[in-house]
Chain A
Amino acid sequence: MYEFNFTPVLASFDQLLIGAWLTVRLSFAAMLIGLVVSIICAWGKTSGPAMLRAVINGYIEIIRNTPFLVQIFFIYFAMPSFGPKLSPNSAALLALVVNFGAYGTEIIRAGIESIHKGQVEAGWALGLSRVQIFRYVIMKPALRTVYPALTSQFIYLMLNTSVVSVISADDLAAAGNDLQSATFASFEVYITVTLIYLALSVGFSALFYAVEKMAFKYPLSR
């Protein structure tokens, strides 16, 4: 019978916690930059010229129909042949942003399309500027609509970050890999790492739910 040995894992638990912090930081950075990309692309897709729309559609379809692992390999290994050579951490962040951007665009677009046309016309009638209409009449209620989808996409993104350890970027999975090769207690290490991921996703779900309850407390008046 196999004897479980968690002693070396617990002895180096702080390494795993540092890894977890790196994962959280990477996920938030990717989501914040990815959201900017998403909003720009969603704007281009709903009200840009036909050419731009086609480009954005191509981007979304390519990203959504290829594995993240292949995307990160492409950015890390293939991009230097025509572009800059990135460090593993920058390549990981770029890959996550590019990946999140495609899913985020569709989510934001769905939110924008949920805004009734009359609302925008009312904004024009009130003399709001183009930017003001986008900011107050479209974005604010749209974000409320898409908030649940965005947060579950964030959880998905955070779990996806484990793949960046493959190109030796720093995160929780990479911390697990290092600990595994130092202790050879593979199963014990990975079950601990998995439980940390589970705690992160459950914790963030709860946090987002609490934020939703607070931030969107104002009533819907229609």
Chain B
Amino acid sequence: MIRVFGWNEFLVIVVAAQWTIALSAIAFAGGSIGGLLIALMRVSEVRAFRLFATGFIRVFQGTPLLMQLFLVFFGMNIFGFAINPWIAATIALALHASAFLGEIWRGCIEAVPKGQREAATALGLRYYHSMRHVILPQATRIAVAPTVGFLVQLIKGTSLASIIGFTELTRQGQIINNATFSPFLVFGTVAAIYFLLCWPLSLVARRMETRFSRATAR
């Protein structure tokens, strides 16, 4: 007996969006911490840090997110942890986000004029205080728009977690599709929900970008 795609099926898909949002939020939080570390290492004066950060970014930007998910998923087993799609997806996406945010934020830190750092040093501020009170507050202003832009990419990326068996929006759509055989309605709904999540963020990012470029053009 084939189920009909009705109101209940629609609601099941809508509710599954919470897992997409939760996964995106956790990965973004983890990626922010990792990304800040990577960005600071990338602009560090210690050569080993710079090399590590460059290598980290190169590897994560040069390999598919799907393979990163697979490696964490199967790798967890090797290190003696039970295979858990939730944890594997979170770790893989957080590492992925660390690399991308690290590269974005590096650019933002470097965009702060060099004189600012020199002025901080002249005022007797050490590394921590000059970063914390002089460089990062200015870099943050530059970073907001591209960071929101990356958040859209991250939300879209969480759809790949469905392939390692994490039941979020896309996977829920597949499950409902297998029961109802109405792919047009099911994947149309799934796509529409992703669109509603991502489009406002894209618009905000674009508006901030134009406002910012206008402000700096003056």
Chain B nearest Cβ from A144, distance in angstroms: 22
Whether the pair B66, A162 counts as a contact (CB closer than 8 A) is: yes
Residues 188-213 of chain A, each 1 if its beta carbon lies under 8 Å from chain B, else 0:
00110110011001100100000000
Contact (Cβ within 8 A) A163 B160: yes
Q: A61-B199, A73-B187 are in contact. Are A67 and B157 (CB under 8 A)?
A: yes
Chain A 156-187, CB-CB to B under 8 Å as 1, else 0, gives 00011011011000000100000000000011
User: Which chain A residue has the least Cβ–Cβ distance from B78?
Assistant: A2
Most buried by B among A65, A165, A197, A205: A65
Complex CA–CA separation, A171 to B198 (angstroms):
29
Q: Provide the residues of chain A in CB contact with B68, threshold 8 Å.
A: 194
Given contacts A65-B194, A173-B67, A190-B67, contact A198 B62 (CB under 8 A): yes
Q: Tell which of B66, B75, B199 has the most Cβ of chain A within 10 Å.
A: B66
Interface SS of A by simple majority? helix
CA A165 to CA B66, docked complex, whole Å:
10
Cβ-defined partner of B190 (8 Å) among A62, A70, A155: A70
Are A191 and B71 touching (Cβ within 8 A)? yes
Q: Which residues of A contact B4 (CB under 8 A)?
A: none
In contact, A81 and B184 (Cβ under 8 angstroms): yes
Q: Are A197 and B191 in contact (CB under 8 A)?
A: no
Using A61-B199, A64-B202, A198-B59 as known contacts, say yes or no to A78 and B188 having CB atoms under 8 A apart.
yes
Closest CB in chain A relative to B69 CB, distance in Å: 10
Q: Please tell me if A218 contacts chain B, counting CB pairs below 8 Å.
A: no
- Pick the contact of A78: B64, B75, B183, B195 (CB < 8 A): B183
Inter-chain contacts of A194 with B (CB < 8 A):
63-64, 67-68, 71
A197 lies within 8 A of B62 (CB): yes
- Is A69 part of the binding interface, using a Cβ–Cβ cutoff of 8 Å? yes
Chain B residue contacts of A62, Cβ below 8 A: 191, 195
Measured between beta carbons, the chain B residues less than 8 angstroms from A202 are 58, 62
Residue in contact with B64 in the complex, picked from A2, A61, A70, A160, CB distance below 8 Å: A160
8 Å CB contact of B184 from A65, A69, A78: A78
In whole angstroms, how far apart are the Cα atoms of A67 and B79 in the complex?
31
B163 on the interface (CB 8 Å rule)?
Answer: yes
B54 contacts the other chain (CB 8 A): no
B interface list, Cβ under 8 A from A: 58-59, 61-68, 70-71, 74-75, 77-79, 152, 156-157, 159-160, 162-163, 170, 173-174, 177, 183-184, 186-188, 190-191, 194-195, 198-199, 202
A-B contact pairs, 7 of them (CB 8 A): A64-B202, A65-B156, A78-B183, A78-B188, A159-B64, A162-B66, A194-B63
Known: A73-B173, A198-B59. 7 other contacts (CB 8 A): A65-B152, A73-B187, A173-B66, A187-B71, A190-B71, A194-B68, A201-B62
